Every structure is written in C-alpha cells, then in structure tokens.
Chains A and B, each alone.
Chain A
Amino acid sequence: APADDDDASSGADWLTRFGYLLPPDPNTGQLQTQEELAKAIMTMQQFGGLEATGILDEATLKLMKTPRCSLPDLLQSEARTLR
C-alpha cells in the first residue's frame, strides 16, 4: 500500500539523510518533484534489495525503519547525478 502524507514526508527526510535525494535548495525553497522522489525511492529500493517500484510501500517503509549505520549510502555527487 502506498504511504500516507506523514510517511511520505519522513520518507523524503530519510532519503535525503542517506544520500538518495538532494536537500531542497535553501535559496529558492524549491521542493523535490514527484518524479525525483520516485527515482530516489527506486534507487533506495534497489540498494536495499527490494523490488524497485518507486512507491513508498510497506516493505520500503519497513526497511527505512530498520536500525542502520548513520552514514549515507550514496555521496551527494551521486545523488546529484541521479537528479
């Protein structure tokens, strides 16, 4: 099942923290597009060994809640390339 708004918001935070999504530009206040978000979720799913659907489903949220190392999975430059 797709996530609700809260999950989507915390999911975006999570994706940003671990390098899948670039943080919003503080100067322009520009937010990520839905397409960017879906791409980031797909990359995260691939990295985590899940089916890459681009949807913040239960399995993805469960993996996001799994205890883990604080360091990002992708470097900012890699996330920028994705963007």
Chain B
Amino acid sequence: HTPAVTKWNKRNLSWRVRTFPKESHLGHDTVRALMYYALKVWSDITPLNFHEVAGNNADIQIDFSKTDHNDGYPFDGPGGMVAHAFSPGEHHAAGDTHFDDDESWTFRSSDAHGMDLFAVAVHEFGHAIGLTHVSAIESIMRPYYQGPVGDPLKYDLPYEDKVRIWQLYGVRESVSLTAKPEISKTNDQPVLLDLPENRSTNPLRRDAPNRCNTHFDAVAQIRGEAFFFKGKYFWRLTRNKHLVSLQPAQIHRFWRGLPLNLDSVDAVYERIHDHKIVFFKGDKYWVFKDNNVEEGYPRLISDFGLPLGGIDAAFSWALDDKTYFFKDHLYWCYNEYERRMEPGYPLETTLWQGIPNRLDDATRWSDGATYFFKGKEYWKVMDSNLEAEPGYPQSIARDWLVCSDMQADAPAPAESTRTRQHAKHDESHSKIEVCSCTS
C-alpha cells in the first residue's frame, strides 16, 4: 500500500525551538545545536534549506511537552511514546515536532541511559518533511527507538532513507547519486559539538572597543539573537538577552566574505522572506546565507530604490513584515516580497515620535517591540504604534551589554589612561579567562 504523499512545496523552511526541556541537563544551546544538525542531515542531501528563526511563524515549531498537549497525540511519561511530528501541508501544525519532556533526553550517553535526542530528532524531522514509518531495520524511519546513532557531525543517513527523501524532493546538486557510503557502526563517542560558527580563540586585540562606553555602528536581530557591531568587532546576545562573551568577536572571522579592509558596517538586518542577512556599508550592500556571503556581492543600494550615500539604519518591522531604511531625517519602506520600495516614500522620521534623527541602527526584538539606537542610548517602540515608550531613552551598555551605570557613564579614556587600562586588562587576563558559557 502506498501511503498518501505529503511534502513541502517550498524549499526554504524555518524552524524554532519554542519550548525547551525543563529538567534536562542539556542546555538550550545544546538542544538548538542538536536540532540544527538533525535538520542538516536531511538538507545535506536534498535541496531543502532550514533556517532558525525567532518568531511564532516558523514552519517547524519544536516543543518539549508532557502528557496531553492538545494535539491528539498525548505523551505517556517516560518510555512508550517519545516524540512525534506532523507531516507537511497547509494545516497550522504542519511540520511541528514534539518531544516528550518526561523522557531523559541525552547526548553522548550510552544506549542504556536515556533517549538520544539527536537520533530521535533525525527521525521526527523525517516525518516533518514527509516521510512515513518503514519496517527496514537499518532505516532511521523505523518507528522504534534503536539507541544513539553516533556523532551528529558525522552521521550519514542509511541509503534507503536517502532514496525515499530524494523521491520527494530530488537530490541536492552536490550529492553523488551513485555513492553508497558504508555505514559506520563504531561506538565512537561524538566529538565536541558546537553551534555552527567560528568562535575565535585569539586574544582580544588592542583596538577592540569598550562595549560599556561606545556607540554602535549597527544592531541587528539575527536568528533571534542580538548582534551589536562596532568597528571590526561585534558582540552577541542570546535570545534570552544574555551576552555570549564579554570579549567582542571579529567580524571577518565570523561573517565570511566581507572585504578585509572593511573597518565597520552601517546597518544590518535579517530578511523576512528568506532569512538571509544583509550588511550595508556606504553605497554597497552584501547578502549572506547564514554566515557566508552570496556570490555577486557587493551591489549598490540603489537596487532597493535607495539614493546613494548610505543608510543609517535598517530593520524588518514585525507589524507589516516590511523593511524600513533610515537616513538622516528620512525613512523608506521596502516590500521584500515584491522587491520594490513602497510608493510615497521617503517620509520624515518625525512620524516616529520621540525617535531621534541620524540613528545608529534599529532592530526588532522578540518582545514585540522595535528598538532604535543612537549614541549610548536606545528607545523602545511597541509594534502597535509609532511612538517611543515612556521612560526612554535608556542606557544601551547597562540594559544590553552587562555594564554597570558607573562603567557606562565613564568618559572615554585618554590615551595614557587607555594604555594603563590595557595593561591592567592584560594583567587580569593572565589570571582570569573570560569564557562563553552558553551550553
């Protein structure tokens, strides 16, 4: 019997971990990383692209739920039914994937202890993109839990599963159809898992700015996280607004493909319709797929219908899913889906009451507000209106970058004191390692 085939008509699919396991020893970033790699197993061989997003509109919403969670598939405590996912389609739950929060979810554990989250996630995402259960012992789509499948970075789908998914979506260009890789059945423990990015181990450079006493060139929400750009550096905050590291990272070491002589950026935003990231500097812009620049860039900002001369700020407004560009006392509204500037623009920025001219940048955030940044201060505007909330501006350093009022208020150090501070900084670094503790 041939079951009804359901598949996604689009090839770019967004995902989000909406709720995390509540009593698991797995950190949020580890869970996200395991989901990323479990999806990558499928996108490595098919022309599907998965992008992590922040909002409520993700195609694949991932939840850790207990007992009856109102979807017709109640969980039953430890053991028994451990997870499920909804097949592609038009229904609101299509693609959504649920894990039983009563299971002891593990990573790098032996067979006997707990439920390997990566192995189960690969199976469930198979459902989320249209596969049904099969009886073949070696298939990841066999309904029974068969223990860990090894290192997520090295996992290779069984050939039968590849063929089934190729029948739905075709083959990714880079994949050889004839290659039948041998399945490694070793008991190797997974290697260190990290989020898919470079994390610089270089010491802080002497030209690195002081996050507590600076204005920022650009601020953007990317994949639900906040990025503060200054000069050749950036700081990153998790979606819970926790600073990943006190040390900034170097832009060029993370965002691969920007010119090496680029000493700063003007504005950055994540595009709504395809989740690509757009960087602006002067008259030029670059489009990134994840953290790699696309071919054919830079291009001129006149592509957007913007006048040459650069922009101050760019952000996608959650209210209308349109992109807003700011320059001096003017702003424009761009329709990403139709790739054209909305008629009637530019308008005066005075329509955004309480927001200053000549912004540094602006960004949406997951709390239903847009934030505008200028100098050392920021303004909050709820998505339902065009007016800054009462009580703003507030301090960027204090509220976003983990600085005390005293640090943030301190004047910029003179050259001599700056040198002394560096010496002190270096001395302290010999004793204290500043770490990124996200997982």
The residues of A with any CB-CB pair to B shorter than 8 Å are 18, 46-49, 63, 65-75, 77-78, 81
The smallest C-beta distance from A50 to any residue of chain B, in angstroms, reads 10
- Contact check, B1 vs A69: say whether CB atoms are below 8 A apart: no
How many residues of B are in contact with the other chain, CB < 8 A? 25
**Contact between chains at B133 and A77 (CB < 8 Å):** no
B314 at the interface (CB under 8 A from A): no
| A69:B137 contact, CB within 8 angstroms | no
Cβ of A47 and Cβ of B135 under 8 Å apart? Answer: yes
Which of A66, A71, A75, A78 sits near B127, CB closer than 8 Å? A71
Task: For A46, give the chain B residue with the smallest CB separation.
Answer: B135
- B3–A71 contact, CB under 8 A? no
Q: Report if A71-B135 is in contact (Cβ < 8 Å); known contacts: A78-B1, A78-B3, A81-B1.
A: no
- When distances are taken between beta carbons in the complex, the residues of chain B under 8 Å from A74 are 1
Residues in B73-123 with C-beta less than 8 Å from chain A: 73, 75, 79-85, 103, 115, 120, 123
Decide if A69 touches B135 in the complex (CB within 8 Å).
no
B139 to chain A, nearest CB (A): 11
Q: Report whether A68 and B135 are in contact in the complex, using a CB–CB cutoff of 8 Å.
A: no
CB distance B145 to A67 under 8 Å?
A: yes
Instruction: Assess the A73–B84 pair: CB atoms within 8 A.
Output: no
Closest 3 CB pairs of A and B: A70-B84, A70-B81, A67-B145
A71 to B83, CA, bound (A): 8
Residues of A within 8 A of B103 (CB): 67
Q: Taking the nearest CB of chain B, how far is it from the CB of A57, in angstroms?
A: 17
Is there a chain A Cβ closer than 8 Å to B144's Cβ? yes
Contact A71 B80 (CB under 8 A): no
B364 CB to nearest A CB, Å: 35
CB within 8 Å: A-B pair count:
63
Q: Do A49 and B84 touch across chains, with their CB atoms under 8 A apart?
A: no
Contacts of A70 in B (CB 8 A): 73, 75, 81-84
* A73-B143, A77-B1, A78-B3 given; A67·B135 CB < 8 A: no
Q: Which residues from B are CB-within-8-Å of A81?
A: 1
Given A46-B135, A49-B137, A75-B4: A67 and B143 interface contact (C-beta under 8 Å): no
Residues of B within 8 A of A67 (CB): 79-82, 103, 115, 144-145
Taking Cβ atoms with an 8 Å cutoff, the residues of B that contact A are 1, 3-4, 73, 75, 79-85, 103, 115, 120, 123-124, 127, 132-133, 135, 137, 143-145
- Nearest residue (CB) in B for A67 is B145
Which A residues are CB-close (under 8 A) to B73? 70-71
A68 → B minimal CB distance (Å): 5
Contacts of B83 in A (CB 8 A): 69-70
B4, A69: Cβ atoms closer than 8 Å: no
23 intermolecular pairs with C-beta atoms under 8 Å apart:
A47-B133, A65-B79, A66-B144, A67-B81, A67-B82, A67-B103, A67-B115, A67-B144, A69-B82, A69-B84, A69-B120, A69-B123, A69-B124, A69-B133, A69-B143, A70-B73, A70-B84, A71-B84, A71-B85, A71-B143, A73-B133, A73-B143, A75-B1
Tell whether, in the assembled complex, residue B135 and residue A49 are in contact, meaning their CB atoms are under 8 Å apart. yes
Closest chain A residue to B74 by CB distance?
Answer: A70
In angstroms, Cα B127 to Cα A69, docked, is 10
Q: Is the CB of A48 within 8 A of B3?
A: no
A71 to B3, CA, bound (A): 13
- Quote the shortest CB–CB distance from B91 to chain A (angstroms): 15
Shortest CB–CB separation between residue A5 and chain B, in angstroms?
21
A68 and B81 CA atoms in complex are apart in Å by 5
Complex contacts, A77 vs chain B, CB 8 Å: 1
Which chain B residue has the least Cβ–Cβ distance from A72? B133
Q: How far is the CA of A48 from the CA of B103 in the complex (A)?
A: 23
Evaluate contact between B82 and A68: CB separation under 8 angstroms: yes
Complex contact B144–A68 (CB within 8 A): yes
* Alpha-carbon distance A46/B137, docked complex (angstroms): 11
